[in-house]
Amino acid sequence: MALIQVENVRKKYQLGQTEVEALRGVNLSIEKGEFLSIWGPSGSGKSSLLNIIGMIDSPTQGVVRLDGTSINGLSDKEITKLRNQKIGFVFQSFNLVPVLSALENIMLPLQIRGEALKVAAEKAMHRLEEVGLSNLAKSRPDHMSGGQRQRIAIARALVTDPSIVLADEPTANLDSETSQNIIELMRELNERDQVTFIFSTHDQQLLDSVKRRIRIKDGQITAEQGEAE
């Protein structure tokens, strides 16, 4: 059974009188442990698709199944719980909370889950060590470089031990050397723990590093390279 099954998903946005069809019948099956990228020009529907897979947004039509279970029929509360259990997010602009330290940022998803502060701090510290930044535990994001911020964001995405990490253009704001380091870090975590990584990108460097590429254009998948392992 696929980890993620996207079936005939359509997404329409209403902008005043105008309707935008961001996704026009997307079908996609993703297995556990994949390291794959959805790529295509700006406006092609990459973020819409990631947001729907991540249950941040719901499809206008179609079904998304996680471990075989459709998320369509779930209540908001069930969706929030499932998202917190299964999915970690990494964003282009890092989305760290500026008034919190690195460690506190990483602790947040665990606190949302209601874990004890001490346990949350220990888990967060462990993830911070993993991304090589334990010396910055008390630093705030605005004192850090882009690469450091993205490492913190990756630690935050992984602190709940999710099975899926969704990363929307994670290297778009980084120079190529920093990007390469971030990509290698994610690849290691993918190999070691079989965490499924799904990227949206148009960064060639990231595209060269993935095992599977799915091309999207005008809300439709147009081509695929590389096979699910």
Residue 93 contacts ligand ADP per CB under 6 A: no
Q: How far apart are CA 104 and CA 91, in angstroms?
A: 18
Residue 75 contacts ligand ADP per CB under 6 A: no
Pick one of ligand ADP, Mg ion, none as the site partner of residue 117 (Cβ within 5 to 8 A by kind). Answer: none
Q: Which of 3, 6, 9, 22 binds ligand ADP (CB under 6 A)?
A: 22
Q: Which is nearer to ligand ADP, 19 or 78 (CB)?
A: 19
Residue 19 contacts ligand ADP per CB under 6 A: no
Residue 46 contacts ligand ADP per CB under 6 A: yes
CA within 13 Å, CB half, 48:
24
Q: What are φ and ψ of residue 44, in 5° steps?
A: -80, -10
- Backbone CA torsion sign across 104, 85, 194, 29: negative
Residue 15 contacts ligand ADP per CB under 6 A: yes
Extended strands (E) in 54-163: 61-66, 69-70, 87-91
CA within 13 Å, CB half, 132:
12
Q: Which of 16, 17, 42, 77 binds ligand ADP (CB under 6 A)?
A: 42
Q: How far apart are CA 127 and CA 155, in angstroms?
A: 5
Residue 17 contacts ligand ADP per CB under 6 A: no
Q: How far apart are CA 66 and CA 68, in angstroms?
A: 5
Rounded to a whole number of angstroms, the minimum distance from the CB of residue 14 to ligand ADP is: 7
Q: Which residue is nearest to Mg ion (CB)?
A: 47
- Backbone CA torsion sign across 91, 161, 35, 26: negative
Residue 43 contacts ligand ADP per CB under 6 A: yes
Rounded to a whole number of angstroms, the minimum distance from the CB of residue 53 to ligand ADP is: 12
Chain positions contacting ligand ADP, by CB under 6 A: 13, 15, 20, 22, 42-48, 200
